[in-house]
Structure 1
Amino acid sequence: MSNGGYQRENNLAQTVILFIIFLALFTGGLFAFSFLSLENVWPGAIAIGLCFLSFWIPQTFMGRSDSGARRHR
């Protein structure tokens, strides 16, 4: 059993700032889709890249690294 209370990973201000940053990345990706045309593929590539990064960075680098169950022997 743990003697300490529940401890969050981030404080509220940091969580809100990170949420705004990654929401802006995702919204920028959606906005880039409006420039997509068959003649120019770069807006589509940028849009897919921004949307991908807005999900991949938080899940990979900012997620809990110790969330898996472990057995101690």
Structure 2
Amino acid sequence: MKENMTDTDWKTNVPKGIREIFELTVHLKGTLSGEHGIGWVQKEYMDIAFNRLHLQLMQDIKKYLTLKIL
């Protein structure tokens, strides 16, 4: 995929392209999750699909469940 792109172009342009794709995906009523849920790539773009309150709620649930398991 990278072909002749410089490392700098790769690091700056690819995230912009991914954000555009995910924004269009959500606009078309799609989701950011993949086959196994939210991955490392999607994690940085969660703000496209979820507002700050939703993200905080998910983080709180994860913390609560982590404490219950330990």
The structure richer in helix per residue is: 2
Over alpha carbons, which structure has the higher Rg?
1
TM-score of the aligned structures, taking structure 1 as reference length? 0.35
Ranked by relative contact order (alpha carbons within 8 Å, sequence separation 6 or more), the top structure is: 1
